[in-house]
Chain A
Amino acid sequence: MEKTIKQWLSRMKQQLGNKVRSMEQNSAQETVMLVEKTELPDVCYFLWHEKKGRLFTMVGNDERDIHGFFALYYVFSFDSFRHFITVKTLIDPLDPTFPSVAVQLPAANWYEREVKDLLGLRPQGHPDPRPLILHGDWPEDLHPLRKDFPLDRHAPRVQSREAFMPYDSEDVTEIPVGPIHAGIIEPGHFRFGAVGDTILHLDARLFFTHRGLEKASEGMPLEKALFLAERTCGVCALSHSTAFAQAVERLGEVTIPPRAAYLRTLFLELERLYNHIGDVGNVCAGFGFAVGVSQGARLKETLQQLNERVAGHRYLRGVVRLGGVRIDITEREKEEIAQTLAYVKKEFQELVDLLFSHDIAMNRMATTGVLSLEHANQLEVVGVAARASGRSVDIRRDQPYAAYDQVSFHVPVYEVGDVLSRVRIRVDEVLESIAIIEQLLHSLPSGDTFTPLPPLPPYRSAMGWCESPRGETVHWLMVGPDQTIYRYRIRSATYSNWPAVPLAVKGNIVPDFPLINKSFELCYACCDR
């Protein structure tokens, strides 16, 4: 494999010729190509379009106090090689612009708007110049992720630069919804352009829960930042803490003990389980199927109580420590997990049979909110939504971590891309998760539960990733010389998937929006940070 990767990389270097200034290994799994910013779009497009790399994440960084420049990192994942290629470019502070990659590579859209807002690096020719992370009343010339911007500085509110899609026709009704919604849901502002009942266009203003997490992490000791990482999101808490810990461990070139890897995998699947089962129940609320809602909520509660008994926290916070896990399980707890899962499996099957044999439920779910494979690929959609549209990505299988290479599991894929497919994926994955946990419980190795960390190399980057219940989550980390965080960037599944929602709702009726939205089950907190 290593040889083929070397050959593959050197072929690529030849093909790109002098577009690439230098190429070096950042780690066994990651190669960094340094390019001039003018070559950025070509090289990225080549990696994405010709070489079929997936845009994994993109990070902007203020490295002026290291070498005088800003830096951009476009990371591509090559799943078949289990390798990453990062395209890096340096940007002169005197000319903080770069040619937009998003023109050719739609999935880069949000990332580039984000570096514009937070770092003041302007993508030239970008198809959507509106503000994204910071709302329109934030002063245009203040960029909080620059190192010279103090963490707690409150900027004055200015005249808003925000704009929504203008409709010139009287036939189009604009329906504004949110940011505060009728139920207990996360905030977002949606603007439907509707003709009668049919949605013509959905515009959204998001990032309401932007708390400045990444900025707050800078200068934080890693142990404390772990707490911050797992508070990125409530229901993906463990996925985030795992991804962060992995980034730290990769930087320190530490391998965690097998028992710790198994335990992480076990708890990660417990996290997927309570989410997926709760989500299947929640989708039922989209068509008023109260039995389904209650059953889903009850089983979710059963699983969360199991979490609390075994790990000490209903949302599995505190399970991970840097270098391993903090929670070990006893024989009795193994037994308890097995028993609870056997019960949940039976009850869940009943719920699923009921749901899938209900004509009205099936009618509402089938053909509603279709996301095409083409759109899913263009936008680099991940997780449940990707797999429901025929896009087979699952980072547990594609770039295995923890103990995922020690268990066998099947990654379900459906083709249609409607609400029903997304529900089916969750149903199948629930059964897979239970099967994974059974395997782990059978073969749980004995031994230590953590490895101590060495001092970490400053100003080098590393990534950690995790298939959260909503899809792939990537944490990109750079540590400073004092062993605190220099830059930390979280790219959650929702960040990749939200841009697909407006495409999936197009042509559907407004009353189906809540259903479609629920079937994507995006969480804003980890998107907004």
Chain B
Amino acid sequence: MKSEKEQTADLRWTLQKRMKEVLGRSLHIRHVDSGSCNGCDFEMNTLTNPIYDIQRFGVDFVASPRHADMLMVTGGVTRHLEEALIKTYNAASEPKMVVAIGACACGGGIFGRTYANYGGVDQIVPVYVYVPGCPPRPEAIIEGILLALKRYEQLSRNKGEKMH
């Protein structure tokens, strides 16, 4: 069996390969904290540390949703962040791949639905891929990106077929 290090390395190479195949270019991600406990956010941050370092494969976290192909949302959408999430979603360019990171974003987590929390990102905007975990490990987040690419590939192929 491969060591943990080798598995992580494999995952990153797969990511690079798939990005070239599917997008033919780099992938830009905008993060939205919609009311997380910050655990998920810190795991996303981890992806840019020297151990995972996904930036060298052309994946980067960007400052503006207008530069982003993908939105990674953490947290179950609080009342106070609903507007920010919607504005960010509207500002993002197509295909607006929304990846829900963590149990809270996927379905509210332990907080669920309260007077201040909607209990999941898909209550507010459409979600492309769900990445469970509390928080999901960095590898799981990379896996989430891969799934989103797959979904994008399928959707654009379907679209292409219809067009012909």
Contacts and interface: CB of A to CB of B under 8 A. Distances in A.
A211 B76 contact: yes
Interface stretch (A7-15, A48-56, A152-160, A443-451): A152-160
Interface stretch (B12-20, B106-114, B152-160): B106-114
Interface residues of B, number: 42
B116 A144 contact: yes
Given A186-B38, A231-B109, A151 B115 contact: yes
Interface stretch (A175-183, A344-352, A459-467): A175-183
A378 interface: no
Contacts of A233: 37-39
A303 to B, nearest CB: 12
Contacts of A232: 37
B49 A179 contact: no
A498 interface: no
Contacts of B75: 209, 211
Contacts of B76: 211
A422 interface: no
A227 interface: yes
A298 B45 CA distance: 12
B28 interface: no
A183 B42 contact: no
B111 A213 contact: yes
Contact of B49 (A207, A213, A297): A297
A127 B46 CA distance: 42
A180 B68 CA distance: 14
A393 interface: no
Contacts of A152: 112-115
Interface on chain A toward B: helix, strand, loop, or mixed SS? loop
Contacts of B51: 298, 301
A209 B110 contact: no
A212 B111 contact: yes
Interface string B112-124: 1111110000000
24 contacts: A138-B79, A144-B115, A152-B114, A179-B81, A183-B61, A184-B44, A186-B33, A209-B33, A209-B36, A209-B75, A209-B80, A210-B78, A210-B79, A211-B117, A215-B115, A233-B39, A294-B50, A297-B46, A298-B50, A300-B49, A301-B51, A304-B46, A525-B37, A525-B38
Given A211-B117, A216-B114, A234-B37, 15 more contacts: A138-B79, A151-B115, A179-B81, A180-B33, A184-B45, A210-B80, A211-B111, A215-B114, A216-B111, A216-B112, A232-B37, A294-B49, A298-B50, A317-B134, A525-B37
Interface of A: 134-135, 138, 144, 149, 151-155, 179-180, 182-187, 207-213, 215-216, 227-228, 231-235, 237, 294, 297-298, 300-301, 304, 314-315, 317, 523-526
